[in-house]
Structure 1
Amino acid sequence: MIGESPQILELLKIIDKVAASDSTVLITGESGTGKELVAKEIHRRSKRNAGAFVPINCGAIPKELLESELFGYEKGAFTGANRAKPGRFELANGGTVFLDEIGDMSPDLQVKVLRVLQERAFERVGGIKEIRVDVRIVAATHRDLEEAVKEGRFREDLYYRLNVIPIRVPPLRERKSDIPLLIQHFNGLFSQRAGTPPMEIEELAMEAFMAYSWPGNVRELENVVERLIVLAEGSVISLEDLPDRIKGALGKAPKGQEGRETGAAKEPISIDQIARLPLPENGVSLPEVIRKLEIGLINQALSRTNGVKSKAAQLLGLKRTTLVEKMRKFGML
């Protein structure tokens, strides 16, 4: 997971806790936010990491084929089944099966997946022998499953079986301070593939990247950077190189507001106003308050300076080396 924003740091903290258990996880978030990356990271940090991580996109496979993909089939189960074949649950035995876009699964298959969740047992298509597996199930969806339950499109019992540990992956517009780091990563990745040095990105181009709302999230950002590098005629990405929808975002967001979350604009508060904030009746942990304040201000400074640490340090009245030390201390590097 790439990012230093409070949202990503909190997400990584949750992943660490979740990975230590064997509980079922339901990952929600918009398309392109990186739900499969979260699932892979949970598996990588878990005690099952020596086993297989087996993904299947429930929305990309026709429902007529999805059952045999999930549960496998016996020889002669249908025309063309010339030999027995294990399904994804069997292949994931001892590891993790990732059911992506489970919200698109048909009701009849939902019943069979519910049984696997309850008993860790099933039969192959065309078979009568019960097969038992030791798998962890991680599911993901971009749909509102609570709404789907109300509308009768998703089984309520399956929803509660899946939603043992819910994890929400934030959209990119809620963690814009991570955009420079993501661009740096994709720039390096695709430039290496192209056999060229990483591209330089002009300040105005970066401002446009920060101003754009990224409805396609990280996947959209990745695709844009790849396209720019493949089509580049020089070594610099300028504002004019960007797609019109991203260039147009510069006129919609006031300069200096690009890295802030969406919502009503707020006037900055002074240090004196912070000091006069009311103390909760049950008190606070002052070191924790100071830690969160420092992390928040560091992220804002990095966002405002497009990730340039020397400029961020100036905004915070720090030496660059001191800023880097603090970022290491807070796990931001």
Structure 2
Amino acid sequence: MVKIHNFGAGPAKLPEEVYDIIKDELTNFDGTGISLLETSHRSQTYFKLNTEIQDVVRRLLNVPSNYKILFLAGGGQGQFAAVPLNLISRTGTADYVVTGTWSDKAAKEAKKYGKVNLVLPPTDRFTGIPDVSTWKLDPNASYVYICTNETVHGVEFDSIPDTKGVPLVADMSSNIMSKKIDVSKFGVIYGGAQKNIGTAGVTLVIVREDLLNQALPICPSILDWTVTAKNDSILNTPPMFAIYVMGRVLQWIERKGGLDKMAEMATKKSSLVYKAIEESNGFYYAPVAKNSRSKMNIPFRIGSPEGNDVLEKEFLKGAEARGLIQLKGHRMVGGIRASTYNAVTVEEVETLVNSMKDFHKQHSK
């Protein structure tokens, strides 16, 4: 069997080293003689793990002491509702910067709970991020919402926008822990773990303490950050195994050199793919503007900017024969998409690039 190289956008590849740890701990966690899967969430064993994982998050991101670190179920879509339910009460309105599918879905969800101002003109083509000087921000907004990396379209913020004192909320599901960020510039950061830092089932939320105690009366307790914070993320039985896996991935990041190393590798891996696209003389086409190209999710078309269905299917079939899997673009946009998250190695990306070059050579005769 050929070696598998997983470029899936999520659930995504986990570090092989973490799998080895999970195997060793699966049936005897922390010397208890039983699996974490059957351990009480009210046990000292789980309390210790819960604190340990919060601590590694705080270390990696240098999270200030006035921020709470929460672990919630419900994925990113749960937070699409949780954000307005927890924050929109102050003024009843919020600014949404829609740069792709996920921020668009978040804005539509928020409209159920208050007024949403779309900072950018509506579009169904997401190929970049307009300069902040063109944004129509409302100084009366309860918060400004962005998605720092759009998984579907491959659009990524390369800097943190200045929101003039209005709390900035960021969905970082697919690029969290890929580089250092200044947490103090955000009111709230969240990310579903299954893309870059773990497996499906848990969402990491980092919220500034002054933004707690503002939830709408209709906010369910399970989505209320204040209630979750008061209960140290153990309001009910949490997604313990997903939290544990996330913790082991974060510890792996720390051992491998932390976020400086992750950022270095992200630049190296994405540059390899973008270089292959740029040097193909138009055979491969990247739809995203260069200053907004994601280092985590790289979409591209084959044959033309609109793509060639026959060539793309052939490429995917040939790639899979080489063990390069989950490269098919999102169903909404088609084409090819390579996700080069932290766990994807440089060697795997080089294998992909060699496959791209071989396919180009084969079809340029």
- TM-score surpassing 0.5? no
TM class, shorter-length: under 0.3
**Larger helix proportion of the pair:** 1
Query: Bigger radius of gyration, 1 or 2?
Result: 1
Q: With CA pairs under 8 Å and 6+ residues apart, which has the higher RCO, 1 or 2? A: 2
